[in-house]
Amino acid sequence: MCGRVIVQSGKVVNWYKKKYGDDPESTVEDNANICPTDSLSVITNKEPRKLQFFRWGLIPSSTRDLSNLPLMFNARAETLLEKTSFRNLVKSKRCIVIVTGWYEWGGKPKQQYVFNIKDREELIFAGLWDEWYNQETGKTIKSVSIITVASNDLVAQYHEKERQPAILAIDNEVDEWLADGRKDEEYIDMLKIFPSDEMEVKPVGEPKPDKAPKPSKPEKPKPPSLFDF
């Protein structure tokens, strides 16, 4: 599972400039605590040079009632071709999500950790996107789900469900994922488990007590400073 990520604007812009040779038209903002329903930085197969910002949590185009829609912020690679919400998107609406780290909680007492790739400023996740037209407001919402795969040995130490984002590590993997014209199964085969020895993990903040009092309202954890990474 991947439910909280970091974006450091300078690192995202640096990656974009190295990849495409110029600055993105859209302005990227720093955010050390991005959660589902917030916006993520994406590039789609339909516009493979355009940096856009989509709602995190897929809203299928066929959705009629948002109130009954589960929060689809992750999509399991192993079942993409079995799920109605994702099956058609594999062929037609793929994207990458650009972040600079993601969080998991692990250990006893619970401790927050941030995951990165060694010697890289950015993380590129494989994703699926869709467009939903709100008939009441007349507005179209573009949304995204991050694809997950089984955890490598490092991430499995911190994630009880043993899942991690599907990471596209090098430029040709990004290009292949965004390129149209392949069979569905070929896209699924691109979603690999990223190796442990190429990743690093660091603790963030103070451990959480095992028996902390429950808050009266759900609250977002206090985000760490971007300068902590």
Domains of the chain: 5-209+217-223 (3.90.1680.10)
Res. 1 pLDDT band, cuts 50 70 90: low
88 φ, ψ to 5°? -70, -25
Rg (C-alpha) for the chain, rounded Å, is 17
Tell which residue, 165, 134, 130, has the closest CA to residue 151. Answer: 165
Beta carbons of 28 and 51 less than 8 angstroms apart:
yes
Beta carbons of 60 and 85 less than 8 angstroms apart:
yes
The residues facing 104 across adjacent strands are 113
The residues facing 97 across adjacent strands are 42, 125
Cα dist. 5→1, 97, 146 in Å?
Answer: 11, 11, 11
Q: What local confidence, expressed as pLDDT, does residue 161 receive?
A: 79
Q: Is the peptide bond before 109 cis (omega within 30 degrees of 0)?
A: yes
157 vs 7: CA distance, rounded Å: 24
Instruction: Please count the other Cβ atoms lying within 10 Å of the Cβ belonging to residue 66.
Output: 10
Q: What local confidence, expressed as pLDDT, does residue 228 receive?
A: 46
| Predicted model pTM | 0.89
226 vs 121: CA distance, rounded Å: 13
Q: What local confidence, expressed as pLDDT, does residue 222 receive?
A: 52
How confident is the model over 81-125, as pLDDT tens digits?
Answer: 999 889 999 999 999 999 999 999 887 788 999 999 999 999 999
Token couple for 69: 């829609």
Q: What local confidence, expressed as pLDDT, does residue 206 receive?
A: 73
123-134 and 94-99 strand pairing: antiparallel
